[in-house]
Structure 1
């Protein structure tokens, strides 16, 4: 049995974003079949663990099962099963285990950011899951939007590792061609390949990530339509059109979004967690229905503590290799500006 929160994330997020990634995984960010690349041996180990969870879920009362069927009629997209499961109790989801994310949630539960993240109910590394609040449970037929925050989506360590042994990657060259045939240089065209560091940096420039500090990952409207076609949404007018479409018919809840974003910014300024962590690949989840709207911070698989000796991060200054800045507040500032303009 699946939940609305689960299905929205499965629709818009590549499988590699749900767990710890190696730098090699990063090259598959826009692939839709990464989950199928797991080895048979790894899959066999996880089958029994998830089988136990499925058994528990199926043994829930008929009332709960009926409730979930009526409440969450959304459809999973192929290729992403296995990253989220229905929780063992109503109002929860099970997310594939990630040690970094587990550590982040344990700290966040006692931080000023506590009201802005899903409730964390614990984890089971043996059964390979962490248990979180289902953020969509309080909404009726919600509209949902995922915005990835920050000026980059890769860790510094991933970039440095890729630079250690640079080699031409044909697969990344072909991805560049699919997005923009003029992106590769004449030399790269001739070699029919690009290096991974070159691809990683370029990828952030084709959307609003590098310029605005955020990008839209996906949107699902209350009528069931969804879109992930924002990879090259780069200009300010294009972004505003996307946000206007998202709140179309629900203009009365824009003020709630703006108030929540201001509250989040204040909490971030007070947060010890935020000043001491590099927050990469995290998202803001926007959710509203006809009566209410809210925003949460989600996805902490790439959130890591600062190395010893690195001063607290500001999050609102440009990134350069070595300063560990992520541009989180740059993105939040632009989002606040957009909602202020929507009210006007």
Structure 2
């Protein structure tokens, strides 16, 4: 692929891009690609000549909308409306988050740098502070995009502790629960028509592959513009394989390229000082391909925090409250195994 001033893609650098339709950069809705209690992200992508006219943000995950009467497709893989706006040529602006900035500053000096969006600093526009990132989709045409959230949980230990410390009954979370499984609430919860946030948070992870495989598909956008976010009950390897095969259908070289990139990511994580010293929560892998290219990046670091002093985690041991294990390598290993199997079958 073509390279940016921060490097290219395979083995070099990245960009977080504009789509001809299209997430990582474009955005997501609150109940689609990301978990229902966490902050999601948004991304937009207009043509350079029209960027100055673009002022509002679209929230769709990888859902396509238009700006006024002109067709400016955007993709939002995991976000809330207002998190992203068009940047300069080949970049996007993402709403400032001090935790994420700290991560990017460290990642730019880490062996993981080729596998994350290039960070270009902070910028203030219209009294709002953003961080500027390369647009990962800029070198793709009619891109297919998939967001996969990695780890055995998408909430931090602090989030869970705060929720348990203030266990208010939530009617909105009860409604979300019964939309997925009307038999899940207890008789008492049905009577109250409400559940607590901790109850919802823990249950939400058990119904998808998050708890069983250490990752879950958040959303998919295909080259023809069709999108899907109905992966809440995608739990087994077989179901995940079927979804990935559908995602790559018609793009014969994508599976092999994804497999090789996954191997590189796995190897880089083993050498990364940043990875060994941080708890990865709510972070995703962004998969993007078109007819010629395919690539993967690590994105979303708003919940990725340094581990407590003198604490070491394996990223693959079972999580118990207090041990800070995130299961990140469980998810990466299972994904790598899946792509290895699919790649062997495709040969």
The Cα offsets for residues 44-94 of structure 1, whole Å up to 9 and x where unpaired, read as xxxxxxxxxx9x95289xxxxxxxxxxx952568x9542211212x21111
Whether 2:226 is the aligned partner of 1:225: answer: yes
Task: Compute the displacement of 1:28 (Å).
Answer: 4.3
How has the CA–CA distance of structure 1 residues 251 and 156 changed in structure 2, closer, same or farther, with 3 Å as cutoff? same
Task: Compute the displacement of 1:236 (Å).
Answer: 2.5
| Partner residue in 2 for 1:319 | 319
Cα distance in 1 between the residues matched to 2:224 and 2:268? 33
Task: Compute the displacement of 1:104 (Å).
Answer: 0.4
Cα distance in 2 between the residues matched to 1:231 and 1:16? 10
Which runs of 5 or more residues in structure 1 are unaligned? Answer: 19-24, 36-53, 61-71
**1:193-208 to 2 correspondence within 5 Å?**
193-208=194-209
**1:158-169 to 2 correspondence within 5 Å?**
158-169=159-170
Cα distance in 1 between the residues matched to 2:172 and 2:258? 40
TM-score w.r.t. the length of structure 2 is: 0.79
Greater mean alpha carbon deviation, residues 168-177 or residues 148-157 = 168-177
Cα distance in 2 between the residues matched to 1:265 and 1:254? 16
| Partner residue in 2 for 1:261 | 262
Task: Compute the displacement of 1:142 (Å).
Answer: 1.3
- Partner SS for 1:132: strand
1:8 pairs with one of 19, 23, 27: 23
| Partner residue in 1 for 2:241 | 240
Contact 1:12 1:218 in 2 (8 A): no
| Partner residue in 2 for 1:43 | none
Contact 2:108 2:119 in 1 (8 A): yes
Task: Compute the displacement of 1:169 (Å).
Answer: 1.9
Whether 2:58 is the aligned partner of 1:58: answer: no
The Cα offsets for residues 11-43 of structure 1, whole Å up to 9 and x where unpaired, read as 66235999xxxxxx985459x9x99xxxxxxxx
Quick check: which one's helix share is greater?
1
RMSD value over aligned CA atoms?
3.1
Q: Following superposition, which runs of at least 4 residues in structure 1 exceed 6 angstroms of deviation?
A: none
Task: Compute the displacement of 1:10 (Å).
Answer: 7.1
- Partner SS for 1:338: helix
| Partner residue in 1 for 2:333 | 333
Task: Compute the displacement of 1:117 (Å).
Answer: 0.2
Cα distance in 2 between the residues matched to 1:10 and 1:121? 15
| Partner residue in 2 for 1:95 | 94
Which runs of 5 or more residues in structure 2 are unaligned? Answer: 1-16, 43-47, 55-70
Task: Compute the displacement of 1:122 (Å).
Answer: 0.3
- Partner SS for 2:23: helix
